[in-house]
Structure 1
Amino acid sequence: MHRTLLCFTLAVASLTAATDAATAQTAPPARFEQAQKNVEQGRYKAITSILVAQEGQVVYEHYFDAEGTEARRNTRSATKTVAGMLAGLAVADGRMSGSSRIFDLLPAQRRARMQHPDPRKLAISVEDLLTMSSLVECNDDNQFSRGNEERMYLVEDWVQFYADLPVQGFPAWMPKPADSPHGRSFRYCTAGVTTLGDVIQSAVREPLDAYAQRRLFDPLGIHAPEWQHSPLGLAQAGGGLGLRTRDLWKLGQLYLDGGRAGGQQLIPADWVRRSLAPQAVAREDADYGYLWWLMKIPFGASTLTAPTMAGNGGNAVFLLPEKRAVIVITTTNFNERQPHLHTFKLLTQDLLPAL
């Protein structure tokens, strides 16, 4: 759950019983032998699983721990991307829009109890939360930020924690939103996505985890996900969702295929397109969509843009549209220095060349 990147479709019917039964622990295809050897030798620390799919077919899958295929892996902030998917479904269901003001959707008590009331806070939209660009002072990458996620976990009501934050100040050395690309000032904020989860469940009038199961997971054949919850019982949209490696593949494949799965348009194609388009500049090497990192990956003489679900420890789901591929890497490198660098090197030095 803590932080995300700090340094850098096959029909669903075929993704259920037959494919889930495969363990893929046999000898790897020759082109992935070196990658598997490097992982087994500890070159990338504690990698727990790799799945590579191309043209909707698994071409390599291996589990490096004793948990195997059925383990629900805590992929930390990759959960945020799932929240973006659920927002798209709520929009498709006519329950809200990207321009909906979040405090119009949340229970009225949120506004009534709000500290630091400000008309600019009342104007915060769903899209502001999807793009990590709301105007409240919230930055997980700044330990002094009032909205840092570690402070949120110390209180009972995580959504009110977000609602009570003051408006961000922009001193002369910090670009103002109006002067930033896409008109947005990006600051990574877990509390905002936690709040988005409450916004979604308020809009659809159904608990977030139940809505996710009915509208997203059941159609994809994803069973028994392991949600984390706030002290008040809100399913945490900001991180910690436990999913199998193959479940993560299904989610990535869904977006690689433009929102289609099982012969149906599960998520509107326009929402997928907007989600994977640059909406804010996060860093020099990454733009940001709707809770998707858009990683710029050097590869040979070119640069690939890889929409990425990413979580602490280097857990990641990479979409590679040019290669019609999805790569899932799970890890337990939570206490390693620069864990995302291990994942990035595994991707660029071993897996991409094998494709």
Structure 2
Amino acid sequence: MAVSSQMLPVAGQQPWDFASAADGDAFAAGVARRLDQALAERRLWNIHGLIVLRDGKRVIERYFEGPDRARGVGDIGTVTFTAETPHDLRSCSKSIVALLYGIAHAQGKVPAPEAPLLAAFPEYADLASPERARLTVAHALTMTMGTDWDESSLPYSDPRNSEIAMDEAADRYRYILARPVVETPGAHWTYCGGATAVLARLIAKGSGQSLHDFARAHLFDPLGLGPTQWAAGADGEPFAASGARMTLRDFARIGALMLSGGRWDGRELIPADWIRRCTTPAVSADELRRYGYQWFLLDVAFGKPKGWAAGRLERMWMAQGEGGQRLYIIPALQLVIAVTAGNYERDDQSIPPTRILREIVLASVE
């Protein structure tokens, strides 16, 4: 795996200085040493980029070479990644849509979380039923709609996968809203790209802009992001749940915005209360992860154990995307870790980013 290191200032409104190991930063030195060791031992595979920020400074920024794919396009060959190379975020797009919904909500352009979901789509009034009447926007935000949806047990190459079926439907929003309600809404979490799609549609309906245009005008441009894309289907509708594409630096900038409580360059881009909602557990996703508004939440342990103590435990916010895309945010440490990778449809795809988090970054925290 070829390696490049970018030492240039980050473009945009708020550049990050490097926290250099040469300046005696023990954390930066530990991260660099452990990363080099993991690469030498081939414990990481097809990682495309890594940025670690702490206390507003870049601890490390590395880019690699490897095969990649683009949503809606397929294989794009071997890419030599740099700070200017855009990358698919895949399902990390869901977490960005949640932030955009919060912006639109503050502008009065979308229904409140407590509002009935189907009522926001009068064009599908024929789908009304007592079961669907119980669905709220919050159920879409927390993926607890209770509808018949399966995109976890089937690969995305299988047309029976609910997200693929949604993409291929004549009307993707009718497909989502017409799914039978098979569980009590709010009771259980089911991974559902359709939930993200209806949130994005509400943003577009309320703002009169496409999802990407709204994102550029109200989040990406104010945040100083460079060129971005949002892939769309044959029907022209965005792959809301998995189509965002941007550079690794801009991906990390999203994390820095979250840490700042939604403020950037002296301006509130996202209401702090909305970030609190996104990062407050609403439901358990599995034994380890909880879920807020389109963000995963979990506790991570680090630090050297003392006696019977297991070390320090802190809350982490996580955006997670297929292939190994990750945005880890640990507020107590003022830490952002952005990872891009190309391990699509591999059973071991979660191992490299998890090792970066636990064995390289958290292992370097004193």
Match of 2:140 among 106, 110, 129: 129
| Structure 2 counterpart SS, 1:80 | helix
> Residue 322 of structure 2 contacts residue 345 of structure 2 at CA under 8 Å; is this kept in 1?
no
Q: Which residue of 1 aligns with 2:131?
A: 120
Match of 1:330 among 335, 340, 347: 340
Q: Over residues 273-315 of structure 1, what are the superposed CA-to-partner deviations in whole Å (9 max), with x where a residue is unaligned?
A: 1111101111110110110000232324233321001101121
1:162 counterpart = 2:176: yes
CA drift of 1:147 comes to: 7.1
Match of 2:149 among 118, 138, 149: 138
- Separation in structure 2 between the aligned mates of residue 232 and residue 303 of structure 1, nearest angstrom: 46
Q: Which deviates more from structure 2 when the two are superposed, residues 237-246 or residues 139-148? A: 139-148
CA drift of 1:40 comes to: 5.5
Question: Larger RCO: Structure 1 or Structure 2 (Cα < 8 Å, ≥ 6 residues apart)?
Answer: 1
1:345 counterpart = 2:341: no
Identity %: 26
- Separation in structure 2 between the aligned mates of residue 126 and residue 40 of structure 1, nearest angstrom: 48
- Separation in structure 2 between the aligned mates of residue 166 and residue 145 of structure 1, nearest angstrom: 19
| Structure 1 counterpart SS, 2:285 | strand
- Separation in structure 1 between the aligned mates of residue 299 and residue 47 of structure 2, nearest angstrom: 22
- Separation in structure 2 between the aligned mates of residue 53 and residue 156 of structure 1, nearest angstrom: 43
1:223 counterpart = 2:223: no
CA drift of 1:154 comes to: 3.1
Q: Over residues 203-247 of structure 1, what are the superposed CA-to-partner deviations in whole Å (9 max), with x where a residue is unaligned?
A: 222211111110000000113212111222122221121111111
- Within 5 Å, which residues of 2 pair with 1:280-319? 280-300=283-303, 301=310, 302-319=312-329
- Separation in structure 2 between the aligned mates of residue 99 and residue 153 of structure 1, nearest angstrom: 27
Q: Which residue of 2 aligns with 1:63?
A: 63
| Structure 2 counterpart SS, 1:91 | helix
Q: TM-score, normalised by structure 1?
A: 0.84
| Structure 1 counterpart SS, 2:62 | strand
Q: Which residue of 1 aligns with 2:75?
A: none
Q: Over residues 38-78 of structure 1, what are the superposed CA-to-partner deviations in whole Å (9 max), with x where a residue is unaligned?
A: 23553111111110001111111110121211111112100
Higher helix share: 1
Cα distance change on mapping 1:191 and 1:129 into 2, 3 Å = same
> Residue 222 of structure 1 contacts residue 247 of structure 1 at CA under 8 Å; is this kept in 2?
yes
CA drift of 1:18 comes to: 7.8
- Separation in structure 2 between the aligned mates of residue 271 and residue 217 of structure 1, nearest angstrom: 17
Cα distance change on mapping 1:201 and 1:122 into 2, 3 Å = farther
Q: Which deviates more from structure 2 when the two are superposed, residues 329-338 or residues 13-22? A: 13-22
- Within 5 Å, which residues of 2 pair with 1:80-91? 80-91=94-105
Q: Which residue of 1 aligns with 2:269?
A: 266
Structure 1: 5+ residue stretches without partners: 1-12, 170-175, 178-182
Cα distance change on mapping 1:213 and 1:21 into 2, 3 Å = farther
Q: Which residue of 1 aligns with 2:50?
A: 50
Cα distance change on mapping 1:18 and 1:320 into 2, 3 Å = closer
Which amino acid is the alignment partner of residue 233 of structure 1? G
Q: Which residue of 1 aligns with 2:29?
A: 30
Q: Which segments of structure 1 move beyond 4 Å, counting only runs of 4 or more?
A: 144-147
Cα distance change on mapping 1:15 and 1:184 into 2, 3 Å = farther
Structure 2: 5+ residue stretches without partners: 1-8, 66-79, 304-309
- Separation in structure 1 between the aligned mates of residue 40 and residue 107 of structure 2, nearest angstrom: 46
Q: Over residues 90-113 of structure 1, what are the superposed CA-to-partner deviations in whole Å (9 max), with x where a residue is unaligned?
A: 11001221122233333x33333x
- Separation in structure 1 between the aligned mates of residue 11 and residue 262 of structure 2, nearest angstrom: 15
Cα distance change on mapping 1:165 and 1:147 into 2, 3 Å = farther
1:213 counterpart = 2:216: yes
Q: Which residue of 1 aligns with 2:205?
A: 202
